[in-house]
A = this chain, B = another copy of it.
Amino acid sequence: MSLDATLDRIDASLPQALDRLMDLLRIPSISTDPAYKADCTRAAEWLVAELESLGFEARVAPTPGHPMVVAHGGEGEKHILFYGHYDVQPVDPLELWDRDPFDPALEDSPRGKVIRARGASDDKGQLMTFIEACRAWKEVHGTLPGRITIFLEGEEESGSPSLIPFMVENREELTADLALICDTGLYGDKTPAISTMLRGLAKAEFTIHAATRDLHSGMYGGIAQNPLHIMARILAGLHDAEGHVQVPGFYDDVAELPDTLRQQWQALAFDHAAYLDAVGLSVPAGEQDRTPLERIWSRPTAEVNGMWGGYNGAGFKTVLPAEAHAKVSFRLVSKQDPVKVLTAFRAWLEAQLPADCSVTWHDGVEGSPASVMDISDPAFEAARQALSDEWGVPAAFVAEGGSIPIAGYFKTVLGMDAMLIGFSQDDDQIHSPNEKYDLASFHKGIRSWARVLARIA
């Protein structure tokens, strides 16, 4: 009865919940760009005010980078920690957006209403599903659904430099019985999912140097090293013709998928043709001897995320540049160690530099390993049932190709398990122009958390 009343309350107050989300989406909290530092703080302050209005004891907790939001509220035997992030990705290329990324709007789409804005899906819309579930519960019951800590980060899209130190410093305050993380998606467009595997991430940015200055291709073309040629040659060799990464030892710590998971995944009948068709592609790239689902869920990758050098303005400049630049990232799985991978990558690249060329590395050797959840915790089955109730189809244990390092940190730093539940769609265009979040994801997401909290909190 009390759950039903909460669900009714959620349905009735959806317009107000949406207004609150729109307010948060208007704040351009791009964490990787120092120009938006004040906006990140503003987003944290907005969330603290929001949580205080629900009776949480909340604070903006400073870090050397962007602040954390930490809030405590409610009572109960089981202590639940909820994690989300209020920062967003950069918006470039801005000209590909159909509207101002920070002027959110409800728009029509073939599948129903969508909330259009940077951060709508990743992760402001998602984190607000949990907060709105708490609000509805509070409004119906007068109390929060249990003992809840809310922990919101502002550096998730820029490598979370302050996260581990903050967790270590505030270990006692942040350690709960279970962490809930809302930064993942549905399977397909209506099957609720609990992610039990996440790929890790390692990043490298570097510059290849040749001459001490840019050269005129008429005077030096044909006799001087061109670092753009060297960059192309090295990065062309990052994969073989079958898509295998060529850095020595890269696959050493990659386990084969267990048969049980392989069977579960086969049952999901992943439609890779539709997945690719949604972005204008038709042929799976990458490791040709792996199933498409393995390639995005359980196999490691190496991808060039940016490459630049020479003249790229209007017109032409017949230059041999002094430098060429690239950003390369690796998605990691199983026991792959980011430090070991990056160290091997550096050595592999440096061994290929010809005479007169050198490399500068712009980052440290760091990253986050993959995470594999312990699904024997009964909370996983309870949550699976709650989600199945809300969505009308059995919830699935899936994997996630993206990196959510926080899941691993909760285990390694705080010793607690994490459960990843989220409601984003594959076509939400997160990290891309025209990001959106389905209104149905937002609405049923709030209802889902009410059901999950009713069972586990």
> A236, A276, A318, A401 — which one has the most chain B CB atoms within 10 A of its CB?
A318
Which applies to chain A's interface (DSSP): helix, strand, loop or mixed?
loop
The A200-221 residues at the B interface (CB cut-off 8 A) are 201, 203, 205, 210-221
Interface size class of A (residues with CB under 8 A): 35 or more
What's the nearest-Cβ distance from chain B to residue A18, in Å?
A: 25
Q: Is A283 an interface residue (CB 8 A)?
A: yes
From the candidates B236, B238, B327, B355, name the one contacting A282 in the complex (CB within 8 A).
B355
Complex interface: chain B residues within 8 A of A430 (CB): 216, 219
Known: A222-B299, A327-B311. A305 touches B276 (CB 8 A): no
User: Can you name the residue of chain B whose Cβ is closest to the Cβ of A431?
Assistant: B216
What's the nearest-Cβ distance from chain B to residue A356, in Å?
A: 5
Q: Of the 9-residue stretches A111-119, A142-150, A284-292, A436-444, which lies at the interface with chain B?
A: A284-292
Known: A222-B296, A285-B226, A432-B214. A305 touches B301 (CB 8 A): no
When all copies of this chain in the complex are counted, the total is 2
> Quick check: B310 and A306 within 8 Å, CB to CB?
yes
Complex interface: chain B residues within 8 A of A308 (CB): 307-310, 312
From the candidates B211, B305, B400, name the one contacting A320 in the complex (CB within 8 A).
B305
Q: Is A34 an interface residue (CB 8 A)?
A: yes
Q: Is A269 an interface residue (CB 8 A)?
A: no
> Quick check: B307 and A318 within 8 Å, CB to CB?
no
User: Can you name the residue of chain B whose Cβ is closest to the Cβ of A310?
Assistant: B306
Complex interface: chain B residues within 8 A of A8 (CB): none
Q: Is A1 an interface residue (CB 8 A)?
A: no
Cα of A238 to Cα of B230 in the assembled complex, Å = 11
Q: Is A74 an interface residue (CB 8 A)?
A: no
User: Can you name the residue of chain B whose Cβ is closest to the Cβ of A226?
Assistant: B303
Cα of A92 to Cα of B313 in the assembled complex, Å = 9
Q: Is A129 an interface residue (CB 8 A)?
A: no
Cα of A240 to Cα of B89 in the assembled complex, Å = 40
Complex interface: chain B residues within 8 A of A287 (CB): 222
> Quick check: B238 and A229 within 8 Å, CB to CB?
yes
Q: Is A319 an interface residue (CB 8 A)?
A: yes
Complex interface: chain B residues within 8 A of A237 (CB): 236
From the candidates B32, B210, B217, B300, name the one contacting A281 in the complex (CB within 8 A).
B210
Known: A232-B235, A236-B232. A217 touches B307 (CB 8 A): no
> Quick check: B318 and A223 within 8 Å, CB to CB?
no
> Quick check: B402 and A307 within 8 Å, CB to CB?
no
User: Can you name the residue of chain B whose Cβ is closest to the Cβ of A278?
Assistant: B212
The A336-391 residues at the B interface (CB cut-off 8 A) are 354-356
Q: Is A69 an interface residue (CB 8 A)?
A: no
The A214-261 residues at the B interface (CB cut-off 8 A) are 214-226, 228-229, 231-233, 235-239
Known: A213-B433, A307-B308. A236 touches B233 (CB 8 A): yes
From the candidates B205, B225, B296, name the one contacting A219 in the complex (CB within 8 A).
B296
> Quick check: B301 and A318 within 8 Å, CB to CB?
no
From the candidates B205, B286, B317, name the one contacting A223 in the complex (CB within 8 A).
B286
3 interchain residue pairs of minimum CB distance: A218-B402, A32-B315, A212-B280
Task: Provide a sorted-by-A list of 27 A–B residue pairs whose CB atoms are within 8 angstroms.
Answer: A33-B313, A90-B311, A90-B313, A90-B315, A96-B214, A199-B218, A201-B318, A210-B281, A214-B431, A214-B432, A217-B303, A219-B401, A222-B296, A222-B303, A223-B276, A223-B286, A223-B292, A228-B235, A228-B307, A229-B236, A229-B239, A229-B303, A283-B355, A303-B318, A307-B307, A307-B308, A307-B310
